[in-house]
């Protein structure tokens, strides 16, 4: 939610900031703005709408300056308009600030500042920060960085901020708590951004700021880091593991499509070095130290949101089936506020593509406070959740830019499968023959995904049928229930067709009342497991005139006979069906959204990283 970027150095700042905004736009795209210091003034240009609208607006404006900050917004407080767009000015326009996060006590602070004569232009929570820093700077007669530090001691909430002032024209003051912030080092210059994608083309030497830390970045000087409590601390320079071509569309029309088609590679990358089928060894280096905690866990509790939650549900079936440890899967947003019982011998696993989801991060902190072992399955290296957990494994899916999560899901399921296999083997809960068969089958999944891509034209035809409906139901059972949830989530978030995922057998407890000839029902009806039961559920839909689109195992004739459309996927182990069946559902949602003229990479009201609760 919201992307921030700053630059100080000897380059013109605007091109760096603008390019950075384009890369960060997936984080929020309802308005954008830039502030540049030029001599003793700050020029701010901001616009409602996408970064391209800001770019157009700036064509005939003064965009010179070597120090600047820029922001792309996902509105929380105050509607998306030009005034509420960041950056925000202090009263005398000598200071400007951008912010990602939420200031919870902003109303209180605002009232006090208004009483002291400050005039506010916007309805945002952010604007109080710049007035507060300015107020402290004047009244306490302190340097900019100290004013920022003192201001942050009064703030309740989350923030990643960058502040500039004409009094320190070659300095950025940055701070974070609960929202991500990365600092890049160039030649006598600094780059600051919400994530590495905005700065990777300039540098791979970075520092990840920790919560409640402030950094002072002055052109030609070294970085200075201290805590909000005023303790000077050392910084550690790391190498940013990201390449520029991972951030391009590489000939695809949309990031989502590229990311769908990357899955054979991303699934293989998530297994690489972890699965040695010749030696029949599965190991997850990142959590090896905590394997005994997992094996002796009273329970495994998985916390996640959205698509990552669906990956957690798949893991629940797998871990209980193969490892025989009780597993609970919870929406992080519910878990954190319901006073959950957590034992010190529970292992909590947080799943998050971005590693920044506010609710998942809060659930991690809560579980740590209660003494549980907390592991992370994240995609973004160095992200907040990856760093807040005791240990974890990265998914290696590569940057996921499309707001709809695709390759992250299959990578998460892959890593969780490896975890389940490791534990099952160590616990002696899996027969040798089954273990051997499963790991060979897992190794073949990328090839099977490739085969599914050959169905794209057929899936497009089904999309042209579905695109005209207003509702859709997705049904599945057992391992295919999370697939139904995920298929429905994909369709609704990018095509805006109302879609619900249901366990197929639950239909007759309510949703069956919705079935008529205007209700397409997507059923994941692969062989094995509860196949016969699902066939009965299809009959129930059919006899009520529902339209049936089935995902079936290659060669199936029974479900084919009952369906209006079928999508045949290669046969695999039941536990791997989610890795295959999700792919046509991603493509289906993509094509429907395109046919309905929607922006698939940046669907309305959404953002990629949900860093506010």
DSSP string, 325-337: --EEEEEHHHHTT
Nearer to ligand M6R, 306 or 487 (CB): 306
Ramachandran region, residue 423 (left: φ > 0; alpha: ψ -120 to 50; beta: rest)? alpha
What's the Cα-to-Cα distance from 402 to each of 183, 357, 383, 413, 463, rounded to whole Å?
Answer: 24, 16, 18, 19, 20
C-alpha distance across the termini of the chain, in Å:
10
Residue 165 binds ligand M6R (CB under 6 A): no
Tell which one of 203, 393, 405, 414 touches ligand M6R (CB under 6 A): 405
Cβ proximity to ligand M6R, 67 vs 354, nearer residue: 354
Torsion angle, alpha carbons of 461, 466, 472, 474, to 10: 0
* Residue 315 interacting with ligand M6R (CB under 6 A): no
**Stretch in the footprint of ligand M6R (CB under 6 A) among 42-50, 52-60, 400-408, 573-581:** 400-408
Contacts of 576 (CB under 8 A, 6+ apart): 417, 441, 442, 445
> Of residues 50, 110, 258, 608, which has the active-site annotation?
608
Rounded-to-integer distance, Cα 370 and Cα 345, Å:
10
Give the whole-angstrom CA distance, residue 201 versus residue 245: 10
Closest CB 455 distance from ligand M6R, rounded Å? 21
Is residue 373 near ligand M6R by the rule CB under 6 A?
A: no
* By the rule CB under 6 A, 403 interacts with ligand M6R: yes
Residue 356 exposure: Cα atoms within 13 Å on the Cβ side: 31
Binding flag, residue 179, ligand M6R (CB under 6 A): no
Near ligand M6R in 590-609, by CB under 6 A: 606
**According to the binding rule CB under 6 A, does residue 389 interact with ligand M6R?**
no
Provide the minimum distance between the beta carbon of 423 and ligand M6R in the complex, in angstroms, as a whole number: 23
Q: Which residues contact 180 (CB under 8 A, 6 or more apart)?
A: 100, 160, 194, 195, 356, 383, 384, 609, 611
Alpha helices in 155-305 (DSSP H): 255-261, 263-271, 291-295
Q: Rule CB under 6 A: is residue 360 a binding residue for ligand M6R?
A: yes
Query: Quick check: 100 binds ligand M6R (CB under 6 A)?
Result: no
Q: Which is nearer to ligand M6R, 73 or 425 (CB)?
A: 73
User: CA 83, CA 434: separation in Å to the nearest integer?
Assistant: 62
Asked if 67 touches ligand M6R (CB under 6 A), the answer is no
Determine, following the binding rule CB under 6 A, whether residue 306 of this chain makes contact with ligand M6R: yes
**The only residue of 497, 538, 585, 610 in contact with ligand M6R, by rule CB under 6 A:** 610
**Cβ-closest position to ligand M6R:** 306
Nearest to 476 by CA among 265, 317, 369, 356: 317
Cα–Cα dist 379/406, whole Å: 12
The yes or no reply on residue 586 touching ligand M6R (CB under 6 A) is: no
DSSP letter (8 states) at residue 232? B
DSSP character string of 512-567: GGG-STT-EEEEE--SSTTHHHHHHHHHHHHTTT-EEEEEEETT--HHHHH-SEEE
Question: Which span (4-12, 271-279, 354-362, 451-459) binds ligand M6R, by CB under 6 A?
Answer: 354-362
Scanning 5-13, 192-200, 302-310, 333-341 for contacts with ligand M6R by CB under 6 A, the matching segment is 302-310
Tokens of 358: 């506010």
Kindly write out the interface string for residues 508-547 of this chain, putting x where it contacts ligand M6R by CB under 6 A and - elsewhere: ----------------------------------------
Near ligand M6R by CB under 6 A, which window of 173-181, 238-246, 303-311, 587-595?
A: 303-311
Kindly name the residue from 2, 305, 378, 422 that is annotated as catalytic: 2
Please give the backbone phi and psi of residue 236, each rounded to the nearest 5 degrees, phi first: -120, 120
Among 90, 122, 357, 414, indicate the residue that binds ligand M6R (CB under 6 A): 357
Among 124, 218, 308, 572, binds ligand M6R (CB under 6 A): 308
Residue 24 beta carbon to ligand M6R: minimum distance, rounded to whole angstroms: 15
* Binding-site member from 35, 63, 247, 404 for ligand M6R (CB under 6 A): 404
Using rule CB under 6 A, residue 497 touches ligand M6R: no
Structure tokens at 273: 């070095």
The per-residue DSSP string of 254-287 comes to SHHHHHHHTHHHHHHHHHTTTEETTTTEE--GGG
The two structure tokens encoding residue 364: 């991690």
Taking contact as CB under 6 A, which single stretch among the options 125-133, 295-303, 334-342, 403-411 is the one that binds ligand M6R?
Answer: 403-411
Among 34, 305, 415, 588, binds ligand M6R (CB under 6 A): 305
Which residue stretch of 35-43, 350-358, 496-504, 507-515 sits at the interface with ligand M6R (rule: CB under 6 A)? Answer: 350-358
For ligand M6R, the binding residue among 354, 373, 586, 602 (CB under 6 A) is 354
Nearest alpha carbon to residue 234 among 212, 211, 207: 207
Nearer to ligand M6R, 240 or 610 (CB): 610
SS3 612: coil
The piece of 165-173, 347-355, 465-473, 513-521 that touches ligand M6R (CB under 6 A) is: 347-355
For the bound state, the minimum distance from the C-beta of residue 532 to ligand M6R, rounded and expressed in Å, comes to 32
Among 218, 353, 410, 582, binds ligand M6R (CB under 6 A): 353
Cβ neighbour number for residue 231 with a 10 Å cutoff:
9
Assigned token pair, 82 = 């030009």
- Interface with ligand M6R (CB under 6 A), residue total 16
Q: Report the nearest approach of ligand M6R to the CB of residue 356 (Å).
A: 7
Are 69 and 162 within 8 A, CB to CB? yes
**Of 144-152, 174-182, 281-289, 352-360: span binding ligand M6R (CB under 6 A):** 352-360
Quick check: 299 and 329 in contact, CB under 8 A? no
Which of positions 433-492 make contact with ligand M6R (CB under 6 A)? 489
Does 467 qualify as catalytic in the annotation? Answer: no
DSSP letter assigned to residue 10:
S
Q: Strand 190-193 relative to strand 182-185: parallel, antiparallel, unpaired?
A: antiparallel
> Which of 403/452 has CB closer to ligand M6R?
403
* Rounded Cα–Cα distance for residues 18 and 518 (Å): 46
With CA atoms as reference, report the closest residue to 179 among 163, 162, 158. Answer: 158
Q: Of these, 493, 573, 574, 601, which contacts ligand M6R (CB under 6 A)?
A: 493
Residue 368 bears catalytic tag: no
Catalytic residues: 2, 608
> In the complex, which residues of this chain contact ligand M6R (CB under 6 A)?
305-308, 352-354, 357, 360, 403-405, 489, 493, 606, 610
């Amino acid at each position: 939610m919201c992307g921030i970027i700053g630059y100080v150095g000897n380059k013109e700042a605007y091109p760096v900031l603008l390019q950075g905004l384009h890369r960060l736009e997936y984080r929020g795209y309802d308005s954008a703005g830039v502030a540049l210091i030029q001599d003793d003034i700050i020029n701010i240009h901001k616009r409602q709408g996408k970064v391209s609208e800001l770019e157009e607006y700036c064509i005939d404006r003064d965009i010179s300056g070597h120090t600047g900050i820029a922001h792309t917004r996902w509105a929380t407080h105050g509607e998306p308009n030009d005034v509420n767009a960041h950056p925000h000015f202090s009263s005398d326009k000598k200071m400007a600030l951008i912010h990602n996060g939420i200031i919870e006590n902003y109303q209180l602070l605002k009232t006090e500042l208004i009483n002291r004569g400050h005039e506010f232009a916007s309805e945002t929570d952010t604007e109080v920060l710049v007035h507060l820093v300015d107020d402290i700077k004047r009244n306490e007669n302190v340097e900019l960085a100290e004013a920022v530090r003192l201001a942050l001691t009064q703030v309740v909430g989350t923030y990643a901020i960058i502040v500039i002032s004409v009094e320190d024209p070659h300095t950025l003051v940055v701070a974070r708590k609960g929202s991500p912030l990365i600092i890049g080092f160039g030649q006598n210059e600094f780059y600051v951004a919400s994530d590495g994608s905005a700065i990777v083309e300039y540098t791979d030497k970075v520092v990840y700021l920790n919560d409640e830390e402030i950094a002072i970045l002055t052109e030609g000087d070294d970085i200075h880091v201290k805590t909000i409590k005023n303790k000077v601390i050392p910084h550690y320079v790391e190498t940013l593991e990201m390449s520029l071509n991972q951030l391009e569309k590489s000939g695809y029309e949309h990031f989502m499509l590229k990311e769908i088609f990357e899955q054979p590679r991303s699934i293989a990358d998530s297994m690489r070095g972890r699965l040695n089928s010749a030696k029949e060894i599965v190991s997850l280096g990142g959590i090896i130290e905590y394997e005994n905690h997992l094996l002796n866990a009273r329970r495994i509790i998985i916390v996640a949101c959205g698509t990552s939650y669906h990956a957690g549900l798949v893991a629940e079936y797998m871990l209980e089936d193969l490892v025989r440890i009780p597993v609970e899967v919870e929406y992080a947003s519910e878990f954190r506020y319901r006073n959950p019982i957590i034992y010190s011998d529970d292992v909590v696993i947080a799943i998050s593509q971005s590693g920044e989801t506010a609710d998942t991060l809060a659930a991690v902190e809560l579980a740590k406070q209660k003494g549980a072992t907390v592991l992370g399955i994240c995609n973004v290296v160095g992200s907040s959740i990856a760093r807040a957990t005791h240990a974890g494994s990265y998914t290696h899916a590569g940057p996921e830019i499309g707001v709809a999560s695709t390759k992250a899901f299959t990578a998460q399921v892959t890593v969780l499968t490896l975890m389940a296999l490791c534990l099952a083997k160590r616990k002696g809960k899996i027969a040798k023959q089954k273990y051997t068969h499963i790991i060979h089958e897992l190794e073949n999944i990328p090839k099977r995904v490739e085969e599914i891509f050959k169905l794209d034209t057929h899936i497009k035809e089904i999309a042209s049928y579905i695109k005209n409906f207003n509702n859709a139901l997705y049904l599945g059972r057992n391992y295919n229930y999370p697939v139904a949830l995920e298929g429905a989530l994909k369709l609704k978030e990018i095509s805006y067709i109302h879609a619900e995922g249901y366990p197929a057998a639950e239909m007759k407890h309510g949703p069956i009342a919705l079935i008529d000839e205007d209700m397409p029902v997507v059923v994941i009806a692969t062989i094995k497991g509860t196949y016969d039961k699902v066939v009965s559920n299809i009959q129930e839909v059919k006899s009520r005139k529902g339209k049936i689109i089935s995902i079936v195992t290659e060669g199936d004739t029974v479900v084919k006979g009952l369906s209006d459309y079928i999508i045949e996927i290669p046969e695999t182990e039941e536990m791997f069906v989610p890795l295959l069946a999700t792919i046509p559902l991603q493509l289906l949602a993509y094509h429907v959204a395109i046919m309905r003229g929607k922006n698939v990479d940046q669907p309305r009201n959404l953002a990629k990283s949900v860093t506010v609760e």
